[in-house]
Amino acid sequence: MPSLTKPNFPPPPTKSDSLWRAPPGVPRRHSCRRCNLFTILLAASLANAAPTLSFHVMGSDPGSWPAILSSIGLSASAPGDVLVIPTGTQASFEECQSRIERGAVLIIEGQSPLAESFGFHATTKPHVIVRSVEDVRSPKLPIVWEKPLDVPVFEIPKEARVFAAERWQGVPLMAGFKRAKGAVLWIAASPGPYGYERFPYIPQALTDLGLEAPFRSERLWAFFDSAYRSRVDIDYFAARWKASGIGALHVAAWHYWERDPQADDYLRKLIEACHRNGIVVYAWLELPHVSEKFWDQHPEWREKTALLQDAQLDWRKLMNLTNRAAFAEVSKGARDLIGRFDWDGVNLAELYFESLEGFSNPARMTPFNDDVRAGFRLKSGFDPIELWSIKAKQASEIAQFVDFRADLARRQQAEWLAQIDDIRKTKPHLDLALTHVDDRFDTTMHEKIGADASRLLPMLSSHDFTFLIEDPATIWNLGPQRYPQIAARYAGLTPSQDKLAIDINVVERYQDVYPTKQQTGTELFELVHTASASFPRVALYFENSILPPDLALLSAAASSVDRAEMVGGKLVVESRRGAGIPWQGPALVDGRPWPVLNGKTLWLPRGPHSVEPSAKPITLEILDFNGDLKSAKVISNGLEFAYQSSARALATLEHAPGKVEIDGAEVKPELAGNVLILPRGQHLVTLTN
């Protein structure tokens, strides 16, 4: 079949061609293609001979540097491709200069003889009190230090680029320059105990100086609301999401609940653009919110608060799904919505009750519709409205309603899981996620909103879904180490650890937080990296809130690699969920030709593997793959690979294959551009030209 991405080249010349064999006495002319191949292989060997894998912090106290540098995939190992010289640490200028000439990146803190040797001099000018910082990547972003710091005014070398400065006087606080094969980054003070209190964009400054993150991942999920992207170039954003490591988009489906030609056309184009870029798409439902129009058309089914007012809380307009007529109508609408678009999965999100203020605010407390009140009255002997009456109820009676409410949430979740399972009978390729707020780390969620993971997680034994744990707003101000703690608290609740995932809310926080209201830079990378090491899947809420300076390094932060080192001229990588490594040219993995690479990135399955340059190109390549790759190998006139995926798997190919076999049976290929759409589950695929 014709190439989908490359022009058709003429066949290589034979030995009788004049370009292959020159007449006697005339110097032999080289084949252009062979020269190009030699150049590519040489470049690949040089490019991959000394990747940036490690860092080393001199002195006895590494401070927060391990957290900063590991958040983008570097590991601690002497002598280190990145060398950090903290304030007060002695280092030889000659040795540092030699390391830079060989390609190392040097990071220098504050005032020192070494800093002066590289041109960063503290002047005699009056010190500046730093409270607010302006970074070149986002000049309008408020970066405020919790504790002001007295900092000398430094003179920096002319070749240095200023990355951050004191906002009001413009005094340089972070600057750097490239030199020889390496670079120097200087900061006026330490980055703080967590690594992001003062300079959130240290990783970005390092990449500006030439550092390339050693690993990549495309396992991120992201939430998407078209209300924020109504007039955009969909293909541009799909490519940007993919480059950021996003492999699945969860689209706010309530905007498309009712049929509308213009809106439906937009959604179809969005799904098609995502598929062409190797991104699967989920219908994100926020029941008991259905849609604006549904709310307007059915006032009789509106949920009620404890004040018996319509439950329009924040942006959600909640419906009474306990009512059987309402449930039937919503079920009918969900089937139509899921059936008329080419979704890859469904996300049932936040299917419980309001509010985060709990019993302290009856104006936001739900559910108090007639059906729920009657059911509780029948069971307990009193109307739950009486919990706020003059005849105040005892704690035991409040606990009775809390338990009834949590059980009602579980029954509704089970009912909707069954609904999606029924829809899957006609669309078996659909994946399913259930987003549920954490109530193990923040145990108040049980009383406040009826969340109870212990009642829901046993359903994993009878329903195939991913349990996506949502970070509650009450702990958004806590650091990344909360994720291992959250993971530990769920470990005992289910044997299906591979079905757990975590949702990070990248939003402005209501707590007093520093240096930025929203997670960005190192703080975001630490969150994503730590979460990725603790959970098989990480979701971000939401794609529109991720700041532009963070996009390029998100995929690096999401990677989880346990070991990486050069051994005998080979790059040895061990990862728990697979990883992408920067790579150019053909490669051998574990000594065999490897077919999953695209000229920039080579994709490895989980486990330990060795990688080295190869002298032999292959005829068919997988440029990108969004499933869990188990194995791959080159075969005669093609390739073979095994994978597992909870949703449909998308394989981006160099060109369309002539023949596709799945589990030994030939199938007609389903293509979206040059992306091959493969079934969910575990399969063996053979592609031949």
How close are the terminal C-alpha atoms of the chain, in Å?
8
Residue 24 lies in a domain: no
> Would you list the DSSP string of 330-352?
HHHHHHHHHHSS--SEEEEE--S
Helix ranges (DSSP H) in 233-361: 234-243, 261-276, 292-297, 324-339
For residue 392, name the pLDDT band (cuts at 50, 70, 90). Answer: low
Rounded CA separation 245/212 (Å): 15
User: Amino acid identity, residue 421?
Assistant: D
CA dihedral 117, 118, 119, 120 (to 10 degrees): -100
pLDDT greater than 90 at residue 178: yes
Count of CA atoms in the C-beta half-sphere (13 A) of 446: 18
pLDDT at 73 over 80: yes
- Stated as kind and residue range, the H or E segment containing 381 is none
* pLDDT for position 19: 27
Does residue 31 surpass a pLDDT of 60?
no
Q: Are 318 and 365 in contact (CB under 8 A)?
A: no
DSSP for residue 329: H
**Same domain, residue pair 141 and 289:** no
**Phi and psi at residue 523, to the nearest 5°:** -60, -45
- The closest alpha carbon to 522, from 539, 547, 503, belongs to 547
> Who wins on pLDDT, 49 or 119?
119
Q: Which of 38-52, 63-77, 264-278, 397-411 has the lowest mean pLDDT?
A: 38-52
For residues 163 and 176, the answer to whether their CB atoms sit within 8 Å is yes
How confident is the model over 150-159, as a mean pLDDT? 98
The Cα–Cα gap between 345 and 433 comes to: 8
Instruction: Give the three-state DSSP class for 15.
Output: coil
pLDDT score of 215 more than 90: yes
Q: pTM to 2 decimals? A: 0.92
Residues 97-111: tens digit of each pLDDT: 999 999 999 999 999
450 domain-assigned: yes
If asked whether residues 124 and 155 sit together in one domain, one would say: yes
Strands 82-85 and 54-57, how do they pair?
Answer: parallel
CATH number at residue 475: 3.20.20.80
Query: What's the mean pLDDT when you consider all of the chain?
Result: 92
* pLDDT score of 518 more than 50: yes
Mean pLDDT over residues 343-352, rounded? 98
User: Could you tell me if 150 and 226 lie in one domain?
Assistant: no
Q: Indicate the number of domains in the chain.
A: 2
Q: What is the pLDDT of residues 422-463, one digit of tens each?
A: 999 999 999 999 999 999 999 999 999 999 999 999 999 999
Cis peptide bond N-terminal to 396, omega within 30 = no
Write out the two tokens for 364: 């936001």
In a domain, 575, yes or no: no
Residues 102, 103, 104, 108, CA torsion sign: positive
The residue among 181, 208, 235 that closes a domain is: 208
Peptide bond into 79 cis (omega under 30): yes
* DSSP-assigned letter for residue 634: E
Q: What is the mean pLDDT of residues 80-104?
A: 96
Among 541, 557, 573, the domain boundary falls at: 557
Q: Can you give the pLDDT at residue 624? A: 98
Averaged over 54-59, what is the pLDDT?
A: 97
Of the pLDDT bands very low, low, confident and very high (cuts 50, 70, 90), residue 34 is very low
As given in the structure block, the two tokens for residue 417 are: 């899981």
Same-domain check for residues 242 and 178: no
> What does the buried/exposed string (b/e) look like for 138-158 if buried means 16 or more CB atoms within 10 Å of the residue's CB?
beebebebeeebebbbbebee
Average pLDDT over residues 63-89: 97
Phi, psi of 93 (to 5 degrees): -60, -40
The answer to whether 559 and 577 are in contact (CB under 8 A) is no
637 falls within a domain: no
**How far is 373 from 444, CA to CA, in rounded Å?**
23
269 and 168, same domain (yes or no) = no
Using CA atoms, how far residue 336 sits from 295, 411, 423, 508, 598, in Å, is 18, 23, 10, 35, 39
CB atoms within 10 A of CB 379: 11
CATH code for position 196: 3.40.50.880
In a domain, 116, yes or no: yes
Residues 6+ apart with CB under 8 A from 29: 19, 22
Report pLDDT digits (tens) over 184-207.
999 999 999 999 999 999 999 999
Rounded distance between C-alpha atoms, residue 184 and residue 385, angstroms = 66
Which residue, of 534, 557, 580, is where some domain finishes?
A: 557
pLDDT given at position 550: 98
Closest listed residue to residue 273, CA positions, set 230, 236, 221, 248: 236
Do 141 and 63 lie in a common domain? yes
Domain assignment of residue 497, yes or no:
yes
Which amino acid belongs to residue 423? I
Asked if 168 and 235 sit in the same domain, the reply is no
pLDDT of amino acid 152: 97
Confidence of residue 390 (pLDDT cuts 50, 70, 90): low
**What is the rounded CA–CA span in Å between residue 513 and residue 444?**
22
Interval 238-265: pLDDT, tens? 999 999 999 999 999 999 999 999 999 9
Pairing of strands 75-76, 54-57: parallel
Judge whether 425 lies within some domain.
yes
pLDDT given for residue 478 in this prediction: 87
Query: Contact, 582 vs 605, CB < 8 A?
Result: no
Model pLDDT for residues 461-517, shown as the tens digit of each residue: 999 999 999 988 888 888 899 999 999 999 999 999 999 999 999 999 989 999 999
Same domain, 81 and 128: yes
Q: At 338, is the pLDDT very low, low, confident or very high (cuts 50, 70, 90)? A: very high
Q: Which domain holds residue 167?
A: 54-208
In terms of domains, do 436 and 489 share one? yes
- pLDDT (average), residues 606-628: 96
Q: Do 185 and 156 belong to one domain?
A: yes
Q: Are 291 and 316 contacting, i.e. CB atoms less than 8 angstroms apart?
A: no
Instruction: Clarify whether residues 85 and 139 are in a common domain.
Output: yes
CA distance 627 to 537: 12
177 and 244 fall within a common domain: no
pLDDT at residue 235 is higher than 50? yes
Q: How many CB atoms lie within 10 A of CB 259?
A: 10
Q: Would you place residue 643 in the very low, low, confident or very high pLDDT band (cuts 50, 70, 90)? A: very high
Cβ atoms 2, 582 nearer than 8 A: no
Amino acid at site 143: I
User: How far apart, in whole angstroms, are the C-alpha atoms of residue 285 and residue 257?
Assistant: 10
pLDDT for residue 391: 62
Biggest alpha carbon–alpha carbon distance for the chain: 112
Q: Are 611 and 571 in contact (CB under 8 A)?
A: yes
Q: In what order do the strands lie in the sheet with 182-187?
A: 75-76, 54-57, 82-85, 105-109, 182-187, 172-179, 161-166, 128-135, 138-151
User: Is residue 521 domain-resident?
Assistant: yes
